[in-house]
Amino acid sequence: MGRPRMLNYNIDVSDVDYDLVLSDLAAEGDQLDALVAAEDDWTRPTPAAGWTIAHQIAHLCAADANVLVAVRTPGAFDAVVKQADAGGSRYADDVAGEGAARPRSVLLDQWRAGRAGVIAALRDVPRDFAFPWFGSTLTAALMAPLRMMETWAHGQDVFDTVGAAHPATTRLKPVASLGIKGVGLSFAAAQLPAPTEPFRVELAGPDGQNWAWGPQGATQQVRGSALDFCLRVTRRRPLTETDLTATGKDAQTWLELARVFL
């Protein structure tokens, strides 16, 4: 799980309910907290090669710490970037490994404090507040769903590890929205030109509603369950293990290379 090349998201999240996403982030963190707090063996290997449950929590903890630096003391974030650059492709693994070596109780307390701090920090600033990030400048409005997405995705790894079902809730919507709005990111990361045609995405939400994005008459279309779509764009499931279907060459290519993470 080496650190990927950082890209400028440039994603319009003006339609995102900021307060709701922050509430969702808190709820998703609490749900994962309940799962890992009940698990005594944090050395169990997760689907991420070389990462245990402790690595997953340490990664989330370190990311939250970076967010707090970026939001609260933006001028100090350059030191974080330099550390990441010095670590190269091993940065994420090394940081997760360092955190995973801490006593379970210490790491759990640090993660709890960090995620509470992130939510408080994001609530304290306007949604258009901009701050430095890796290779980019982000706003609070974008960081909130990004933290939601990452908490959900790494949480999925832990749920898979312990063999528990990860409840599908409406908290999937900001994750799915990021995936859809990040079409250009997926193609850029694969060094392919961005599609010129609009996409229509229709997903069956866990609440029984149909979630839709894009013009109805688009020739590039994707359909399936919101859960499978989120599993795909967070790279937690191969396309063949989802119910997703694509109409159009660009739509099919997108599902094959879809991603939405820093």
Helix-strand-coil percent breakdown of the chain, rounded to 5?
55, 10, 35
pLDDT digits (tens, 9 = 90+) for 63-95: 999 999 999 999 999 999 999 999 999 999 999
Residue predicted with more confidence, 3 or 235: 235
Are the beta carbons of 242 and 231 closer than 8 angstroms?
yes
Helix (H) or strand (E) holding 116: helix 104-123
Residue 155 CA to residue 168 CA, distance in Å, equals 12
Nearest Cα residue to 67 out of 32, 1, 107, 116 = 116
Instruction: Determine the average pLDDT of the residues in 193-217.
Output: 95
What CA–CA distances, in Å, run from 118 to 8, 69, 72, 104, 136? 21, 10, 10, 21, 19
Q: What is the pTM (predicted TM-score) of this model?
A: 0.94
Q: pLDDT tens digits for 147-170? A: 999 999 999 999 999 999 999 999
- pLDDT reading at 1 higher than 70: no
> Average model confidence (pLDDT) for the chain?
94
* DSSP reduced 3-state for 208: coil
Tell me the pLDDT tens digit for each residue of 8-62.
Answer: 466 888 888 999 999 999 999 999 999 999 999 999 999 999 999 999 999 999 9
Judge whether residue 196 has pLDDT over 90. Answer: yes
Q: What is the mean pLDDT of residues 126-136?
A: 92
CA–CA separation, 153 vs 233, rounded Å?
Answer: 10
Cβ-contact 203, 176 below 8 angstroms: yes
**Cα separations (Å) of 138 from 25, 65, 134, 142, 249?**
18, 16, 9, 7, 31
Query: What pLDDT sits at residue 11?
Result: 82
Tokens representing 75 are 């001028």
Q: Is the pLDDT of residue 139 over 90?
A: yes
Unique residue bearing structure tokens 């990927």: 4
What's the one-letter identity of residue 191?
Answer: Q
- Model confidence band, residue 261 (pLDDT cutoffs 50, 70, 90): low
C-alpha 66/C-alpha 131 separation (Å) is 11
